[in-house]
A and B are shown apart, each in its own frame.
Chain A
Amino acid sequence: MNHSYAQSIRGKLSAFQKCQSQTNMVWLGIPNEDYQKRVLLMHTELPNNGTFEFYVKPGVYEVRATNNLGCGFLKTVTVENQALNLSAQLEDN
């Protein structure tokens, strides 16, 4: 979706079989190797195959997904002047 005030990161969450859960969290943060300098902007809880959209300024973000089974996903993305589509797949680690 096009918005004049923001770009967006639009995604769908899925999981390999042993990671499938109805309670997953997707986190949007500003990445930094130093834990103290990392910033959590927003997070949203959703079921397996659920979708989400974060509205953001152009910049670099990290999208994490975790669930109550201990599975995870992490991707650093760069948002420029168009919406970004993301497929977040939870994996056992």
Chain B
Amino acid sequence: MNQKIIFLLFSFFSLSFIASAWSSSYAHPANANCPMGYYRTQATAFTPSTCMPYGQNMNMGMPFCYQCQNNYWGSQQFNPFMNPYANPFMPNQNLPWWAMQGQMYYPNMHYPGSWHNQGINPHPYPGDGDMMAMKPNIYFSSKAPVKFELEFTDSKMQFLATTPYLSDGQKWNATVVGETVEVDQVKYGYLFYDARSKLDHLQFEAGVCTTRKELVQIMHADLKNLKHTKRSLEDFMQHWQVKIPNFAYYCLYPQYNDVLDRVFPYRVSTSASISRVLYVVVPYKTLELKQKNVFPPLPRSDFKSQHPTISPDSKLMIQEWGVAFLTDQAIVR
């Protein structure tokens, strides 16, 4: 009898909790979380609402209303129709702070860049070549402070972005203290570049095909095997759980030092252990390829044998990860 009462009480409170979570997420009072002088408006049922100054309509552009937008997305954390990250049973605690902000401003936030069909739309980007390396991050660690210069040695390298900006000669002059890298008296967690390249030198033989969910986990596990730091692993997971488009399958073609030293070569002015990997990922709707002359071909061998050698006793450890996509025009199915 007591067990029955406990079970009924437990069920009642559980259902009440879930119901209140759902109903509160739909509550959306007019002008909620908007600053004084702003009202809430929404262009269509499928676009996020936003705060607009009174007297201004949606067609006049987005206002500066970052705080109210943050509050709004926060209030929608349980609502799967309004918030793409919503999970009513487990609010997302691990998503990066910028994910919701990005969704507010850009409909292609969940893509690595401008996207068309199954690959990057190359037209808005400068340069040529069908491989876009989006966000290679370079992490550093040392037990004692180390000053060094990292110079990209190909003068024709096609950068798309860097942080911090490069000095003349395509280099960063930096000092590493612990796991922080300092450039021009500013401390960064990592150095970053985006770059474009032709497909020459890339390997499309070793790799694996998998589902999207497992793809991120496979890359994460590979970085773990390469002894990446905790920060590097966390950054990787946070970024790519948001930025890899939602296709059923992906084939993954990792490019390690031997490839990257030819595609995006750089020189470091002091002795260091350098581990580089760029994961080229190609989405597939199905893994049953009907044509014979497809590009890229499905992987034919395991990729782990291609890992670079790591020297854990080196005074400077450099670890780089990135994810690259092909342009839509390069993919032949």
Contacts and interface: CB of A to CB of B under 8 A. Distances in A.
Interface string B162-180: 1111101010000000000
A88 to B, nearest CB: 12
Interface stretch (B6-14, B86-94, B100-108, B206-214): B100-108
A42 B59 contact: no
Instruction: Categorize the interface residue count of chain B.
Output: 35 or more
Interface in B132-146: 134
A53 B102 CA distance: 19
B24 interface: no
A57 B108 contact: no
B61 interface: yes
Interface string A16-60: 000000010101111001111011111111110111111111000
Contacts of A35: 43, 47-48, 62, 105, 107
Contacts of A50: 163-164, 186, 188
B184 interface: yes
Interface string B69-88: 01000000000000000000
A40 B161 contact: no
A51 B105 contact: no
Given A45-B98, A66-B66, A68-B97, A33 B60 contact: yes
A64 B160 CA distance: 17
B114 interface: yes
B188 A70 contact: no
A53 B66 contact: no
Contact of A29 (B101, B106, B125, B184): B106
A45 B190 CA distance: 10
A33 B59 CA distance: 6
B159 interface: yes
B188 A93 contact: no
Nearest to A6: B126
Contact of A57 (B126, B161, B185): B126
Contact of A70 (B67, B127, B192): B67
Interface string A75-93: 0000000000000000111
B194 interface: yes
A39 B67 contact: no
A29 B107 CA distance: 11
Nearest to B63: A93
Contacts of B241: none
A71 interface: yes
B188 A47 contact: yes
B260 interface: no
Given A33-B59, A35-B47, A72-B66, A55 B105 contact: no
A38 B107 contact: yes
A1 to B, nearest CB: 6
Contact of A36 (B67, B98, B107): B107
Interface centre among A49, A55, A70 (most CB of B within 10 A): A55
B125 A40 contact: no
27 contacts: A6-B126, A6-B127, A25-B101, A28-B161, A29-B105, A33-B59, A33-B60, A36-B47, A39-B108, A39-B124, A40-B106, A41-B124, A42-B113, A44-B161, A45-B192, A47-B187, A47-B189, A51-B184, A52-B162, A52-B164, A54-B160, A57-B125, A64-B105, A70-B66, A74-B62, A93-B66, A93-B67
Given A25-B98, A33-B60, 16 more contacts: A1-B166, A1-B168, A3-B158, A33-B59, A34-B43, A39-B114, A39-B124, A40-B113, A43-B102, A44-B161, A45-B98, A51-B165, A51-B184, A55-B160, A57-B125, A66-B101
Interface of B: 35, 43, 47-48, 58-62, 64-67, 70, 97-98, 101-102, 105-109, 111, 113-114, 124-128, 134, 158-166, 168, 170, 184-189, 192, 194
